[in-house]
Structure 1
Amino acid sequence: MPESMLKGSEGPLQEGFDAALVDLDGVAYRGPLAIPTAPAALQGARDAGMSIVFVTNNASREPHEVADHLTSLGIPTDSDEVLTAAQAVARLMAADLEPGATVLAVGGKGLRSALIEYGFRLVSSADDNPDAVVQGFVPEISWRDLAEASYAVQAGARFFASNLDLTLPNERGIAPGNGSLVGTVVAATGVTPTAAGKPEPTMFHLAAASVASERPLAIGDRLDTDLKGARAAGMPGLLVFTGVTSPADAVLAPRDQRPSYLGETLECLAEAHPFPRREGTTWSVGGASASVDGRQLLVSGTGIDALRAACAAAWSAADGGVLVDGGSIPDFGVGFRHEQVRGSP
């Protein structure tokens, strides 16, 4: 009998793991607004002994700015508890380029500060013949910025990106992310950048090492970055449904993006997670159950346990060569609600 990729826990997750590597957008907040359950849940995890490191693909802000924002939303945070993709890409570039190399940075001050900290010399134009171009998200990026990056890459500059997230959740919905903007330069040059952010495992390893964690838990709302990165780093991952990923996405998750745990919000850190059980072709979690008949997903129950059972059944079927028909996935009553945010811009 194959073991389920979805795990359970005898006690609360915050007692079984010594550190939480927490994504920001869609997990702690959405745009400038806190997800209401996040402050108390994270404080409860701290009180239970977990170290918290916020690991973000956003490279536009400096760590102290992220920490100040979190603190203003009721999540007290020090700057050394924040790891940004800007810091990660600067470290990656330092391993690849000569000391003091010239860099054309297309991004915000968070990216620029990290590059300066690692000894790079910043230039402002492709005409300066930079050794490298690095692109990080900032809302003010213009066509001229992307054009300069394209000219430099065409001239032979090495191309790096802080991350390749195609979308960015905020308080109004889903907006284009850094990967979408990077795609403009890729389309113009035919060159794909080397990226440092999630889902690359580097950020997870750096974050865990920063708090000397031996049992880290990666937490995110995106399969293709947070959870794929957790798998790549060899760490258990928790998927929450306060951001981008929908329950149907989780049911259909590719093997390399599957979470080890599912929770509706960060409040699930304080809960034990029931173990998936298999009897024949039926998977049960708590009082819910699910099976796959042909390509049809059959689910008994609603809520997070029903979703957990559905994932266990669908993943098992997929590993056996049978992909669930997405049209048969029911509404589990699980997911982000726009009114469930608070705070101020």
Structure 2
Amino acid sequence: MTTDRDVLASAYDVMLFDLDGTVYHGTEPIPGVAEVIRGLRAAGTAVRFVTNNASRAPGDVADTLRGMDIDTTAAEVSTSAQAAAKVLADRVPRGAKVVVIGAPSLEDEVAAVGLQPVRAAGGAVAVVQGHWTETGWKHLAEGCLAIRAGALWVACNVDATLPTERGLLPGNGSMVAVLKTATGAEPVVAGKPEAPLFHTATQSAGAAKPLAIGDRLDTDIAGAVTAGVDSLLVLTGVSTPADLLAAKPSERPTYLAAALEALNEPASELAPGPQKGWQIDVGDHTLLATGKGSSDPYDLLRALCHEAWQSGITAVTPQDDRTATALGKLGLTPSA
């Protein structure tokens, strides 16, 4: 029998939620999320929203969440724009000019730490780059000139894609790649997968044991590993079951699940490892999977991750129709 003390959420005092791909897709909330968050608050668990998207101010993010029936305040939102502004404030003189490649809200964060946001390269000692749908060649050109002249370059984040209601679209990392090509330089990265966002969000809640929750192995989960906190990967956004099987140690989640409702399930059933009803054997360059019990394909995925991470083998060959069906539900192509 499962009790409230057994469920995953009960083991942590704050939930650090990613937004894009975890709570919503663009303007569309992911079904069930609002109910899960209300349940966490009712149980006394703190909630924080930790996002790499630097295009909107915390207050605007909070407004969006309230419009999705998720009660929150700006104080519960931590963005990569805030993290980038802190990096700049720590590294350049107060009052210095900073070229902003990003939204007006990023300009506001730069100004809030005592620096002067500008859009032209002349006299700038730093460049900060964050996601903005209006970024164009003229913005990138000014950043290019400043970086080539020796300016410090800070990227809010380097997510190559951004989950939306229309599908995956170019993220800030794609725009950062343009300037990497044009300058040969590498930016300082302020957001995930670096640790500061996780630490500041946890501290703001007065918490000691956070659980980081997200949809991307290369940012949300890698950032949790860097920060030394446990993590839950939900398969509602960017990363796929195939990505999980091939995940390197620095990108492996503590738990994995289909969606956020898993926070109300037993923690012991969500961790990658051997699973009742599934047998995984290591064959010749393939994992041999047999289904004998549970029909839950995510149990199969947890068992496969356990063996794949130990053996380095990511190909899977089903040994029966039940397993082949489960692999199909996971979007995994059986090996020939």
TM over 0.5: yes
Distance 1:204 1:73 in 2: 24
Secondary structure, aligned partner of 1:52: strand
**Counterpart residue type for residue 93 of structure 2:** E
Distance 1:140 1:72 in 2: 24
Distance 1:276 1:294 in 2: 28
**Which of the residues 108, 112, 117 maps onto 2:107?**
112
**Counterpart residue type for residue 135 of structure 2:** I
> 1:312/1:148 Cα in 2 relative to 1: closer, same or farther (>3 Å)?
same
The 8 Å contact of residues 247 and 332 in structure 1, kept in 2 or not, is answered as no
TM-score normalised to structure 2 length: 0.90
Distance 1:276 1:195 in 2: 31
> 1:233/1:96 Cα in 2 relative to 1: closer, same or farther (>3 Å)?
same
2:51 matched residue in structure 1: 56
1:284 matched residue in structure 2: 274
2:289 matched residue in structure 1: 299
Distance 1:258 1:210 in 2: 26
Secondary structure, aligned partner of 1:274: helix
2:26 matched residue in structure 1: 31
2:91 matched residue in structure 1: 96
**Which of the residues 234, 239, 252 maps onto 1:258?**
252
Q: How does 1:195-344 map to 2 (within 5 A)?
A: 195-274=189-268, 284-301=274-291, 302-318=296-312, 323-325=313-315, 331=327, 333-334=329-330
Q: CA deviation at 1:326?
A: 6.6
Q: CA deviation at 1:325?
A: 2.7
- The runs of 5 or more residues in structure 2 that have no matched partner are 332-336
2:177 matched residue in structure 1: 183
| 1:119-148 alpha-carbon deviations (Å, 9 max, x no partner) | 10122211x220101110100101111111
The 8 Å contact of residues 288 and 317 in structure 2, kept in 1 or not, is answered as no
Q: CA deviation at 1:112?
A: 1.0
Q: CA deviation at 1:118?
A: 0.4
Q: CA deviation at 1:289?
A: 3.4
Distance 2:329 2:43 in 1: 29
**Counterpart residue type for residue 184 of structure 1:** V
The 8 Å contact of residues 254 and 271 in structure 2, kept in 1 or not, is answered as no
**Counterpart residue type for residue 223 of structure 1:** L
Secondary structure, aligned partner of 2:268: coil
> 1:186/1:251 Cα in 2 relative to 1: closer, same or farther (>3 Å)?
same
Q: CA deviation at 1:277?
A: 10
Matched, 1:133 2:127: yes
| 1:132-169 alpha-carbon deviations (Å, 9 max, x no partner) | 01110100101111111101111121111100111111
Distance 1:98 1:77 in 2: 35
Give the paired residue count. 318
> 1:135/1:326 Cα in 2 relative to 1: closer, same or farther (>3 Å)?
farther
Q: CA deviation at 1:171?
A: 0.6
Identity %: 42
Which deviates the most, 185-194 or 296-305? 296-305
Secondary structure, aligned partner of 1:253: coil
**Counterpart residue type for residue 178 of structure 1:** N
Distance 1:11 1:238 in 2: 16
Distance 1:104 1:193 in 2: 14
1:146 matched residue in structure 2: 140
> 1:111/1:98 Cα in 2 relative to 1: closer, same or farther (>3 Å)?
same
**Counterpart residue type for residue 291 of structure 1:** D
Q: CA RMSD in A?
A: 2.0
The 8 Å contact of residues 168 and 177 in structure 1, kept in 2 or not, is answered as yes
**Which of the residues 68, 92, 111 maps onto 2:63?**
68
The 8 Å contact of residues 17 and 47 in structure 2, kept in 1 or not, is answered as yes
Whose relative contact order is higher, 1 or 2, with alpha carbons under 8 Å and at least 6 apart? Answer: 1
Distance 1:197 1:118 in 2: 17
**Counterpart residue type for residue 333 of structure 1:** K
Q: CA deviation at 1:327?
A: 7.9
Secondary structure, aligned partner of 1:199: coil
**Counterpart residue type for residue 13 of structure 2:** D
Q: CA deviation at 1:313?
A: 1.3
> 1:277/1:56 Cα in 2 relative to 1: closer, same or farther (>3 Å)?
closer
Q: How does 1:151-166 map to 2 (within 5 A)?
A: 151-166=145-160
| 1:211-251 alpha-carbon deviations (Å, 9 max, x no partner) | 11111000000000000010010000100000011111111
Which deviates the most, 292-301 or 61-70? 292-301
Secondary structure, aligned partner of 2:274: strand
The 8 Å contact of residues 14 and 49 in structure 1, kept in 2 or not, is answered as no
Secondary structure, aligned partner of 2:39: helix
The 8 Å contact of residues 119 and 139 in structure 2, kept in 1 or not, is answered as no
Secondary structure, aligned partner of 1:284: coil
Q: CA deviation at 1:300?
A: 3.0
The 8 Å contact of residues 233 and 257 in structure 2, kept in 1 or not, is answered as yes
> 1:154/1:276 Cα in 2 relative to 1: closer, same or farther (>3 Å)?
closer
1:15 matched residue in structure 2: 10
